[in-house]
Amino acid sequence: MFRIISGKWKAKKISAPKNFDVRPTTDFAKEALFSILENRYDFEFCSALDLFAGIGSITLELASRDCPDVTAVEFQTKHTGFIHNTAAELDMALQINTQRSDVFDWLKKNRNRKQYDIIFADPPFDLEEKKYNELISLVLNNNYLKENGLFILEHQTKNAPVHPQLFSTRKYGNVSFSLFEAKPLKNVEEENPI
């Protein structure tokens, strides 16, 4: 179960069937994440991509805050069905595009088709480091982010990634969000040519 924190469905509790194997982002971490995003974006003018969407905790939070264009990518058929049905019940069906696919395959197939302001990924915590790095590369090297876009990767605090486009990691107990910008940061020589 999770709660929508803000927006038109503020405080709405969403319960998934007991046989679903999911780990929604905690309310505490989600509040912190959306505090960061609210200071950067006006949601009603944003497009967002939720990778490893699970049962839609982040997807539904974005839609509740009037994000008009949210794509949720999730491999489990029962999970995508749950997101789709919940979106319909909450009158968010026009805002949410649910895609049933392996995230890595989806990212490889959809390169250069569309850009997003916000990309969020919450892969399984037991994902190998090599796959984390592949995920980061697929998102950042294939033009998925708009110029001022932000890629947020949720991971266990002990598994913090290292990447030139990583500009901040926020820790919330065992869970951390690593934030990546669309363009690599300029190095000192480029900023101060001789």
What's the confidence (pLDDT) of residue 153?
95
pTM: 0.89
How far apart CA 54 and CA 30 sit, in angstroms, is 14
| Tokens (6 digits) for 54 | 């699970």
Which pLDDT score is estimated for 100? 96
Q: Tell me the pLDDT of the chain averaged across its residues.
A: 88
pLDDT given for residue 107 in this prediction = 97
Under a CB-based contact definition with an 8 Å cutoff, are residues 54 and 72 in contact? Answer: no
CATH 3.20.20.100 matches 2-191: no
- The mean pLDDT of 86-103, rounded to a whole number, is 94
Q: Quick one: what percent of the chain has pLDDT higher than 70? A: 92
Predicted local distance difference test score (pLDDT) of residue 184: 53
Indicate the domain borders of the chain.
Answer: 2-191
Instruction: Name every residue whose Cβ is closer than 8 Å to that of residue 48 and which is 6 or more positions away in sequence.
Output: 62, 67, 69, 70, 71, 116, 117, 118, 119, 120
